[in-house]
Amino acid sequence: MLSPQRRDQLTGLALLAPTVLLFAGLIFYPMAQSLFLSLHKVSTLTQRTQYVGLANFQALFADPAFLTTFFNTIVWTVGAVLLQLVLGVAGALVLNGRLVGRSLARGLLLFPYLLPTAVAVLVWRWLFNDLYGLINHVLMSVGLIAAPIAWLSQSPNAMITVILVGSWKFFPFVIIAVLARLQSIPESLYEAAQVDGASRWAQFWDITLPQLASVLSVVILLRGIWDFKEFDLIYLMTGGGPGISTQTLPILVYREAFQLLNFGRGAAVAVTMFGFMLLFFAVHIWATRHHETEGR
């Protein structure tokens, strides 16, 4: 007869079995195959593979277009995360305070996060349209610009526009994370500070900000990870253009693999990205390790 512990362990494993199987088949096997492909030359016609070692990577890193792409990815990620952080913290502070119609404001500010990226892109492309777009029209009619600006078809405008739109779409994440933390700061801390004679500004500086520090570090990390791998928004806004001025790593993977049918090279870019993700992930685990142990 099985001991109760053993029986329990087996039940637990049985419940997890479908999950583990799907993970193995749909995530880990493909990951391994990505790695495999990145070390091979794949014939487009026959799909026959030939081992080439690190040749794909060598070719990649020697390619100036790759370096530009990499640089673009960094610019996009850093720019978007910073802007989201500013907008998000401001939004959270506003929503945490007294405000008429607060729940409506909360809904309006948070909704873009769940909006289909395709919809966000359509609306913003309509707003940023060179000829008929509302934004050019308004800027011209108030006299800020004399001629319409090509927001998406000129560099560096395109990158700036993409960062703006991306921040609009994703900053609600920062709001919700910061807001949750703000609401968990006990009111008695502020009351104690008031009794101790702290001004509102001092309260913000000495209580609110230190309490937010840990949240912000995790928010930066998570948004960093997610923006780093963002494909839909950038690809749909600009397709990576003009030229490759807004092409980021995920777009490069797609292009190499599905437009140039260069499987090995596409896989090499994907594996490079994967390496960066591992790094981010390690930092994330390290940064949240105490939350994990608390949550058990």
Q: Binding to other proteins (CB under 8 A): which residues in 202-261?
A: 214-215, 218-219, 222, 225-226, 228-229, 231-232, 235-236, 249-250, 253-254, 257-258
Residue 85 binds other proteins, judged by CB under 8 A: no
Which residue in 53, 101, 143, 197 binds other proteins (CB under 8 A)? Answer: 101
Q: Out of 132, 143, 144, 286, point to the residue binding other proteins (CB under 8 A).
A: 132
Q: Judged by CB under 8 A, does residue 20 bind other proteins?
A: yes
**Residue 207, CA distances (Å) to 179, 188, 202 in order:** 15, 11, 8
Calpha distance 275→126 (Å, rounded): 37
- For other proteins, the binding residue among 78, 96, 112, 242 (CB under 8 A) is 112
From 79, 166, 172, 240, residue interacting with other proteins (rule: CB under 8 A): 172
Residue 201 sits in the site that holds other proteins (CB under 8 A):
no
Q: Which two tokens stand for residue 167?
A: 């921040």
Q: Which one of residues 60, 162, 234, 271 is an interface residue with other proteins (CB under 8 A)?
A: 271
Q: Which residues of 108-126 are buried (b: 16+ CB within 10 A; e: fewer)?
A: ebbebbeeebeebbeebbe
Which one, 44 or 196, has the nearer CB to other proteins? 44
Q: Does residue 146 interact with other proteins by CB under 8 A? A: no
Q: How far is the CB of 148 from other proteins (least distance, A)?
A: 12
18 contacts other proteins (rule: CB under 8 A): yes
The reply on whether position 283 binds other proteins by CB under 8 A is no
Among 43, 54, 86, 107, the residue binding other proteins under the rule CB under 8 A is 107
159 lines the binding site for other proteins (CB under 8 A): no
Question: HSE (CB half, 13 Å, CA atoms) of 121?
Answer: 14
**CA 281 distance to own-chain centroid:** 13
User: Given candidates 3, 46, 50, 188, which one binds other proteins under the rule CB under 8 A?
Assistant: 3
Per residue in 149-176, is it b (16+ CB within 10 Å) or e — as a string? bbbbeeeebbbebbbbbbbbbbbbbbbb
Complex with other proteins: residue 4 or 53, whichever CB lies closer: 4
Phi, then psi, of 228 in degrees rounded to 5: -60, -35
Compare residues 126 and 196 and give the one whose CB is closer to other proteins. 126
Per the omega criterion (within 30 degrees of 0), is the bond before 116 cis?
no
HEC-encoded secondary structure of 197-216 = CCCHHHHHHHHHHHHHHHHH
Q: How far apart are CA 228 and CA 146, in angstroms?
A: 36
Region 38-77 residues binding other proteins, contact defined as CB under 8 A: none
Distance CA 199, CA 184 (A): 21
Nearer to other proteins, 196 or 201 (CB): 201
Give the DSSP H/E element, type plus range, for residue 152.
Answer: none
One residue of 61, 71, 126, 205 binding other proteins per CB under 8 A: 126
Question: Which residues sit opposite 49 in a β-bridge?
Answer: 42
Measured from the CB of residue 232, what is the shortest distance to other proteins in angstroms? 4
Instruction: Choose the stretch contacting other proteins; rule: CB under 8 A; options: 27-35, 55-63, 147-155, 195-203.
Output: 27-35
- Tell me: does residue 281 bind other proteins (CB under 8 A): yes
The answer to whether residue 118 forms part of the interface with other proteins (CB under 8 A) is yes
Residue 242: what are its φ and ψ, rounded to 5°? -65, 145
- Residue 41 has phi, psi (to 5 degrees) of -100, 130
Q: For residue 211, is it left (φ>0), alpha (ψ between -120 and 50) or beta?
A: alpha
